[in-house]
Structure 1
C-alpha cells in the first residue's frame, strides 16, 4: 500500500491529526494535507473508492471485513473472514506483469461494473471484434487503480480503464527483474533504471559462438553500458572515476550549447588537430564561454584519436561499433581506446582543476 494511502486512512478512519502524521513521517503538515485531499478527490474513481473502502473496513477491525458465525456444537460465536481485503505484495508481483502486459496491447482496456465479481481485459482486433484476453479478481483490479497503474478512461454502467505511464514503467521494472533473475544477475541490477529506457531485442553471439537474443536499452549511452561490464578479474571495465570524467566532459559540452545560436565547428576535431571555431556568423558565441574553453582544452590535451573517441562516445553518445567503423578501427578495439582516453581525461581534469568540477554559476 502506498505511504500516501496509509496517511489518508490513518486520518479518515483512525482519526489521527494531520500534524501528528507529519511528525511521524518527518515532513511538513501541508504535505500530508495534500496527500489526504488528493485521495479524497480520487474517490470519484470507482475502483479507487472500493479499494479505500475495503482497506478502511480492514483497518477499523484490525482484520479483514468479517462477520460473526454461530457454531452449532458449542453455541458460541466465532470470527470468520468474509472477503479478501487486498492482494499482498507477493501476489501483485506475480499477477501484475501478466495483467499489465495485456493492458499494454494496442486498444486494450480493463472493464468492470458494480455487479461484476471479476474484471475483464478486452481489446478490439483488426476486424472490430472484441476479444477477452484476461480475467482478474476485483481486489487485484482495485490494487492496480490504487497504485495509479490504471486510470478511468470512460465512465458509465461499464467502467473502462487503461494503463497509465506509471503502469508502463512498472511493467518495464517487472520485465527487467524477470530477465535479470533468469540471467542470475538479480543482486546487481537496478530495475528502476529500466523504466526510463526504451528496450529492444537483437541477435548476438555468446562466448561459445552461439546466437542468442539480447535485450538492450536503446536510450542508454555507451559509457554507462561499458561501466556495467566486467573484465577477466571481475572488476568493472570502467572505474567510477573514469565514468565521472566522461560525464564531466559531457556536462561542459552541454553547457557550451545553451545559447540560442550554436555554430561550433566540431568537425575540425574529427579531422585534424586545432581549436574549434566557436564563433557564429555574427561574431557572437552561444552557451557558456568557460565551458567552451574547458572542452577545447580537454580535447586539445587528448589530441587526435583519443579526443575523437571521447567526443563521439561521451558527447555525441555514439555507439562503440559506430565509432569503430567511422574511425576505421578493428572490431572490439574502440572500448580499449575509450578507456585509455578516459584515463588521460581524468589526469587532465586532476591537473587542471582538481577532482571537483567548477560550479555552473
Structure 2
C-alpha cells in the first residue's frame, strides 16, 4: 500500500478501521451510517469507505463490512509515524566524533538531552560562541566515559544477592567490570584530576549527572549565573587535557665575544 491520503481522510479512515476491528463485522445502515452487532452506530463517509476498499483495508460483501489483516498493520504504521513526528519535535540530532577504545567513531547524538545543548547555542557580544566546539566535545567525551564506566547512580532496586554470589576476598561488583569499563573509569579519574577540585564538581554535575545550571547553583548555593562561568572554565581545562597544545620547540643559543670558540669535550 503505497498510496497516501490527506490528513482529514486519513483520520476518518483510521476511525473506520478501529470501529470494524472492535466489532469484527458491521453492516451498512443507509449511505452514511455503519451499525455493529453490539448496537453501536458510527457515521460513515462513502468516499472514505471507497478509499478503504480500494486500499485493501476493508472487505465488502453486499452491505457487510469487515476489516482485513492489512487494516491492523496500517493502524500500527500510522501510530508509529505519529510517535516519530512527536519525538522529532524534542530532538536535535547531530553527528559527533568520539574516541572508543582508541578508535574514532562517528555517532548520532541528541543535543537536547544534555544541558550543554543550550550553552552550545549561546554567543558572545562579538558573535563568537560562548563555548568553543572543543569544549562541547570535551564535555560529551567526559559523559561518554562516565557512562561507559558504569558510574551512573542506580535508579532502581537491585535484586542481586550481596554476599551469596561473592567469593571470599573479592571486591564485590568490581570483579564484573570489563577492561573497557575500567579504562573508562581511569580516564574519568584523570580528567577530574586535570580539571582540579575547584571546577571538577560543576563539570560532573552538568556533563555526567545532567543537572541544569540553576540546579547546580541552588545546590551549591552559588550566585546566579555563576555556574555558567565556572562550567566554561572547567570545560576549557578539560579540552586542554584531552588535546594538549603543542609545546613550542626551544633552540639553545650561546653568546660570546668576538673570536669566542666553545670548548669541546674530549672524545671518549
Normalised to the residue count of structure 1, the TM-score between the two structures is 0.39
Q: Which has the higher contact order (CA 8 A, sep 6+)?
A: 2
Q: State TM-score, norm by structure 2.
A: 0.50
Larger Rg, first or second structure (1 or 2) = 2
